Amino acid sequence: MMMALRGAFAFLILFVTAFLPPPQCAQDPAMVHYIYQRFRVLEQGLEKCTQTTRAYIQEFQDFSKNISLMLGRCFTHTNEYKSAVDKLATRVERAQREIDYLEYLRASDVCVESEDETMADKLMQEAEEEKKIRALLNASCDNMLMGIKSLKIVKKTMDTDGSWIKDAASNSPKVYILIGSRNNTVWEFANTRAFVEDTTKPAPRKLSLTLSWQGTGQVIYKGFLFFHNQGTLNEIIKYNLQKRTVEDRMWLPGGAGRSLVYQHSPSTYIDLAVDEYGLWAIHSGPGIHGYLVLTKIEPSSLGVEHSWDTPCKSQNAEASFLLCGVLYVVYGSSGHGPHRITCVYDPLGTVSEEHLPNLFFPRRQRSHSMIHYNPRDKQLYAWNDGNQILYKLQTKRKLHVE
């Protein structure tokens, strides 16, 4: 561009020099007119040169701006590609663990000709399985449920179904409400008082998710919302509430999502739960009213750590929750009270039903839409006929069953 400007100015200097008349002709009117016309041509040439120079400058500025934008996009794409590669590596690792688990299951089904060898292998597998379960459930939690002490109606809405929860692994006072069984809007309240009193400041924050949930089995754990993705059979979404993006996803094995997890919760096919041991999923096994399946999930990688077939049926069930690694299933006749816990499953075998008292809930007219245990404050968060309820619990040390 500088070469072009230098050429233009050299041309103008030559042009002026060539057309300047001798001094003796300055008094001639014709010559004066002639000089005027020449200077008009010179002015036009200068104007054209100025316009060309401005065009070159504007073009260079636009070029510089475009280069800066492209460099910024390249940096953004580089970070996105790096994040995608990291997530892919995590999923490959998870897939390898699941393949190893499937290989373990396949190997366990191989027939052995010798009856003695078969029994020895079975005992060894059972010992390894028990060792694996005890290593998995190694938290210092030794409580069992003995009673539901009291009920507190925190708030009432017009919606029959929904869930209200807190982060089960954080000291944050924030309360989250998810209205309905199919939606993508989460309301975040600063604390319980702001949730109860609509006039209390600050106003709730509206979080619009990029995906919709199905059912009322959502939980919040370590800043992430976990939910069953609407329109899918068994896909679980891990959603970053701060960034409002999908962090990860998984597909529950074992026929999850093919039938209702609870007969009296007509929209929930997968129920998620959190207790002292972390993240769990509950779903129904094969059949119209099959037995419940309990699955332990590793929340960071969304890998399946272990699954158990429980003796608890989905028929007449309305909700369930976990406390210290023990599954408590709530049943109600025809979806109405009395609501009581009549099936308990402990993967470690340390809690037996015959050692438990009759566990009744205070009488409610309709079945619970959700019941979730929060290990941080040791209370049950429930939704019953539009009422958001807190249940306080009575616990004691587990009676170890031989």
- The closest of 207, 175, 176, 180 to 191, measured between CA atoms, is 175
Q: Which of 24-28, 217-221, 347-351 is least confident?
A: 24-28
Residue 112 pLDDT greater than 60, yes or no: no
Residue 121 pLDDT greater than 70, yes or no: no
Q: What is the pLDDT of residues 195-244, one digit of tens each?
A: 998 777 788 999 999 999 999 999 999 999 999 999 999 999 999 999 99
The answer to whether the bond into 338 is cis (omega within 30° of 0) is yes
Q: What is the pLDDT of residues 236-254, one digit of tens each?
A: 999 999 999 999 999 998 7
The pLDDT mean for the chain works out to 83
Cβ–Cβ < 8 Å for 168, 221:
yes
- The closest of 76, 89, 88, 14 to 45, measured between CA atoms, is 14
Q: What is the pLDDT of residues 150-166, one digit of tens each?
A: 889 999 988 999 999 99
Q: Which of 68-82, 168-182, 235-249 is least confident?
A: 68-82
Q: Report the distance separating Cα 206 and Cα 209, nearest Å.
A: 10
Question: Environment class of residue 9 by beta-carbon count within 10 Å: exposed (0-12), middle (13-18) or buried (19+)?
Answer: exposed
Residue 11 pLDDT greater than 80, yes or no: no
pTM for this prediction: 0.69
- The arithmetic mean of pLDDT across residues 63-87, rounded, is 80
Cβ–Cβ < 8 Å for 348, 168:
no
